Structure 1
Amino acid sequence: MGTAIGIVSALFIYPLDFAFSGIIKFVDNISQLLYPVMVFGASHALIKFYPSLTEQKQKQLFNYSLVSVTVVSLVTLAGVVLFNVITQYKDSALVYFAFAVAFSLAFIDLFRKQAQDMQRLSVPTLFEKIIPKITLPVLFLLLINGYFGVITSLWFYAGAYLLILLLIGGYLFSNFKPGFNYRFNNLFTDISRRDYYRYSLYAFAGSVGSLLAFRIDGIVIFNWIGEEANGIFGNGATLAATMQIPAVGMFALYAPLISKHLQENTLEPLNMKYKEIARLLFFIGALLYSCIFIGIDDLFSLLPSSEKLMLTVPIIYILGFSVLINMATGFNTEIITYSKYYRFNMIAILLLIVVNIALNAWFVFIADMGIAGVAWASFISMTLFNFSKLVFIYRKFGLLPFDAAFGKLVLLFAFTGVVIYLLPETGSHFVNLIYKCGLLVTLNVVAIYKLRLVYQLNVWIDQALKKFKL
């Protein structure tokens, strides 16, 4: 659902006003930088230490996290006010809207992590992923047709996240009763207070660093190039990011299981799941990316905003391939985050912040490549980041997400992609789109099913064949 709504909006609605889209992307990026500060690693610590506690202590840990996020959020607000007063930043109003969104996101993240621990993730994920994707295109249409102004639209945008917070909170507390015990002296008898704060600090640094490394594009473009360019880049990034929606859900779902395997040192089943999920996510990502690469020009040529959409094609190619690499490497971030080597994330990310900012500056100011240069900077940073994690996990745990079946998948998609790309054009964009993408999907799915390269695909198809008695 999230993928479908996001694609339709990016194709038909967001190109109608790339300037407002650029403003929204800027607010979103600032909020994504602020909310990890408010959480300060508490949500990751909830996953890390939850399995080792009794039920009563688990409730105490959640309440402690709740108090922590509240206090740090107030401190962050004071910091935002101080920043705007001292710098007299020209877009300070947008920073306050970003804070409102970030405040909701901080508690949403905490509630979602608690839902993960309870294996009740589907409903919170539904609220978190669907409501913004419905709200934003509606606000675009109201703005374009003169019913709302920019400021009013931003108020409703922030309000949508407050609604998500209330809905997820209502769902969580209907299934989880933490009580009102806010005396935390005996909480740290089972876990070390020092270990808790150290882990929270490293998780916080890793989260902020990751966002600085991979979310800085919207801030760079908004301030260095312009809001309309930010909107064009954001639209391409939105279309590319829709590929990763299955991966986001998969990583969140497996986080408690990964933490449990690492605590119990059961690496063999973890390695099997690592490879299995990497193949599944690569299959999904490669199928989507191949269709994008083969059919995007024909698709955009059929749409009313084709001229504007064509501006996003280079961004989609570059960032889409970056997303594919991230999916193909599986849940390597989660393995490091929930292991005793969690500090590595912070070290790697801090280095990547420097690399990414330097690359952005070089591509924009020296190479003069504009938003395509920002996309290349993001791609290079993401590739380096994933490669460093793969090497580290292999050296410390002897785990790799790749095997012979994965290699066959790569070769199969490369072969079918080249063959179908070279097939003759029909003279009709619609026919090209249907026959090339349809043939691509059919060949890959049938071949992968017959070769049994992706376990879950065989399960899904066998269940469908059984259901229809074929």
Structure 2
Amino acid sequence: MKSKNLQRQVFFFALINYMGTAIGIISALFIYPLDFAFSGTIKYIDNISQLLYPIMVLGASHALIKFYPALTEEKQKQLFNYSMVSVAMVSGITLVAIALFNTATGYKDAALVYFAFPVALSLAFIDLFRKQAQDLQRLAVPTVFEKIIPKITLPALFLLLIGGYFTLSTSLWVYAGAYLLILVLTAAYLFTHFKPGFNYRFKTLFGQISRRDYYRYSLYAFAGSVGSLLAFRIDGIVIYNWIGEEANGIFGNGSVLASTLQIPAVGMFALYAPLISKHLQENTLGPLNMKYKEIARLLFFIGALMYTCIFIGIEDLFSLLPSAEKLMLTVPVIFILGFSVLINMATGFNTEIITYSKYYRFNMVAILLLIVVNIGLNAWFVFVAKMGISGVAWASFISMLLFNASKLIFIYKKFGLFPFDSAFGKLAVVFALTGVGVYLLPDSGSHLINLIYKCGLAVVLNVFVAYRLKLVYQVNVWINKAVMKVVGQR
């Protein structure tokens, strides 16, 4: 029964994430281009809040997951209460630090940082409550609140602002209020199913778990969270401050559309995480290496298929939409960041291999490398090369390339594992040749016909060649099953 409930939760979790992504894509195509300046401002507030909230949590949510199973029910409730008090205290200190920073520096956009604070505070408690809901295997409903409400609120604010019903300030307050609403709904749902009580005497808690181990793990989790966010969220802060709010909106829109490529990878990595951990614990590296190569080829096949369609058809697609002129500004960003996502998919589950091994600390080293390189390249491309948001996209691409290369080299040296083989090379050549070949075919004069026939031809050619040459095991399995079903029905 417990297993069925878990499977149901996983299914709904994935479904909700896909629904949120679909809403985000529709908004990015039809609504956000209507006001890239407002989009850039919202993206900046979001990035600031995403950097603040891990500071407020300070690893408490990860520690809740780590130490929860080893505790009695009473101590589990104590740990949750301790985590809430910790988040509240650190959040207060963070607010004081923000006020001191803004006063000392006279930062021109200090008001936006204050708008980011309630968002960050909400995210901090939402993260903690979500982890507790995860322990209870009741993650689907909180995920609905977190993934759907912002995706609906933001496009609605765009339309109200553009229509003259809201001012900019009102829109920002409502945006912050949406996260406070998510917090209230998440808390209400959690406390319906979990009664932590009011036991705030924590001395007995650390009699059952080591205080030193708790703080060490919390600080490591905090460093990992902040490092990842600095590495992957720095673009929005750099562009807003160094180029401008409208440029930040354009880049953000391109980033949203490019990131859709990685949707299959997220689910795949989550699915194979327990298997990777098991192989590493049992030191069965031969089967792990085979699975490493197999999944790398599959993810590259899926990603390359999607990227080829984007490369060939995105300009025709945008030409059919109302905001075609503004959407065209995002095309270079989509091409560059999309290729970066493709490379990340092609390297397979290298992060998971390191995370579940005894060398898990290397992820921190790789992330620090990514931060330093990314900031340095951003500065060079913006101030020296004068390449604007395209330069920021190239900085992100090069940084991710080095990030993944460092992990591949480390994994090969420590485990002798490598995701690439001759079949992977053949697959890359197939996609390169078909992509360029179809792209160079003559246009029909109709954007819609171009989109259908060129993307359709590229998909058919790549799938056919991959199937005939047996380059991706899962593709052959899926096609053979489909053929058998069709033949069986006849």
Higher mean C-alpha displacement, 409-418 vs 375-384: 409-418
Deviation at 1:359, TM superposition (A): 0.9
What's the C-alpha RMSD, in Å, of the aligned pairs?
3.3
2:247 to 229, 241, 263: 229
Listed one character per residue, the Cα deviations across residues 391-434 of structure 1 (whole Å, up to 9, x for unaligned) are 22333344444455544543443343233223222111110001
Residues 1:47 and 1:341: Cα distance change in structure 2 (over 3 Å)? farther
User: Could you tell me how far apart the structure 1 residues matched to 2:188 and 2:343 are?
Assistant: 37
1:353 equivalenced with 2:371 (yes/no): yes
User: Could you tell me how far apart the structure 1 residues matched to 2:265 and 2:384 are?
Assistant: 35
Higher mean C-alpha displacement, 107-116 vs 425-434: 107-116
Alignment of 1:55-454 (within 5 A): 60-117=78-135, 121-174=139-192, 180-188=198-206, 191-251=209-269, 274-275=292-293, 277-402=295-420, 406-445=424-463, 448=466, 451=470, 453=472
User: Could you tell me how far apart the structure 2 residues matched to 1:355 and 1:148 are?
Assistant: 41
Deviation at 1:80, TM superposition (A): 1.4
| Percent of residue pairs bearing the same amino acid type | 79
2:474 to 455, 461, 467: 455
The alignment partner of 1:342 has SS state of: coil
Higher mean C-alpha displacement, 322-331 vs 300-309: 322-331
Whichever residue aligns with residue 442 of structure 2, its letter is P
User: Could you tell me how far apart the structure 1 residues matched to 2:337 and 2:347 are?
Assistant: 16
User: Could you tell me how far apart the structure 1 residues matched to 2:421 and 2:194 are?
Assistant: 41
Give TM-score, length-normalised by structure 2: 0.84
Structure 1 counterpart of 2:4: none
Deviation at 1:214, TM superposition (A): 2.4
Higher mean C-alpha displacement, 266-275 vs 144-153: 266-275
Deviation at 1:449, TM superposition (A): 5.8
User: Could you tell me how far apart the structure 2 residues matched to 1:267 and 1:185 are?
Assistant: 44
Q: Report if aligned partners of 2:59, 2:218 keep a CA contact under 8 Å in 1.
A: yes
Q: Report if aligned partners of 1:47, 1:117 keep a CA contact under 8 Å in 2.
A: yes
User: Could you tell me how far apart the structure 1 residues matched to 2:147 and 2:100 are?
Assistant: 32
Whichever residue aligns with residue 79 of structure 1, its letter is A
Deviation at 1:376, TM superposition (A): 0.7
Q: Report if aligned partners of 2:43, 2:248 keep a CA contact under 8 Å in 1.
A: yes
The alignment partner of 1:215 has SS state of: helix
User: Could you tell me how far apart the structure 1 residues matched to 2:101 and 2:394 are?
Assistant: 31
Listed one character per residue, the Cα deviations across residues 354-384 of structure 1 (whole Å, up to 9, x for unaligned) are 2211111111111111111111111111111
Q: Report if aligned partners of 1:47, 1:256 keep a CA contact under 8 Å in 2.
A: no
Residues 1:154 and 1:252: Cα distance change in structure 2 (over 3 Å)? farther
Q: Report if aligned partners of 1:43, 1:113 keep a CA contact under 8 Å in 2.
A: yes
Whichever residue aligns with residue 350 of structure 2, its letter is N
- Unmatched segments (≥5 aa) in structure 1: none
Higher mean C-alpha displacement, 47-56 vs 389-398: 47-56
Q: Report if aligned partners of 1:3, 1:243 keep a CA contact under 8 Å in 2.
A: no
Whichever residue aligns with residue 96 of structure 2, its letter is A
Deviation at 1:279, TM superposition (A): 4.1
User: Could you tell me how far apart the structure 1 residues matched to 2:263 and 2:434 are?
Assistant: 24
User: Could you tell me how far apart the structure 2 residues matched to 1:167 and 1:449 are?
Assistant: 48
- Unmatched segments (≥5 aa) in structure 2: 1-18
Residues 1:394 and 1:71: Cα distance change in structure 2 (over 3 Å)? farther
User: Could you tell me how far apart the structure 2 residues matched to 1:105 and 1:21 are?
Assistant: 20
2:60 to 39, 42, 55: 42
Residues 1:87 and 1:240: Cα distance change in structure 2 (over 3 Å)? same
Deviation at 1:310, TM superposition (A): 1.3
User: Could you tell me how far apart the structure 1 residues matched to 2:231 and 2:164 are?
Assistant: 37
Higher mean C-alpha displacement, 82-91 vs 244-253: 244-253
Deviation at 1:95, TM superposition (A): 0.5
Q: Report if aligned partners of 1:105, 1:161 keep a CA contact under 8 Å in 2.
A: yes
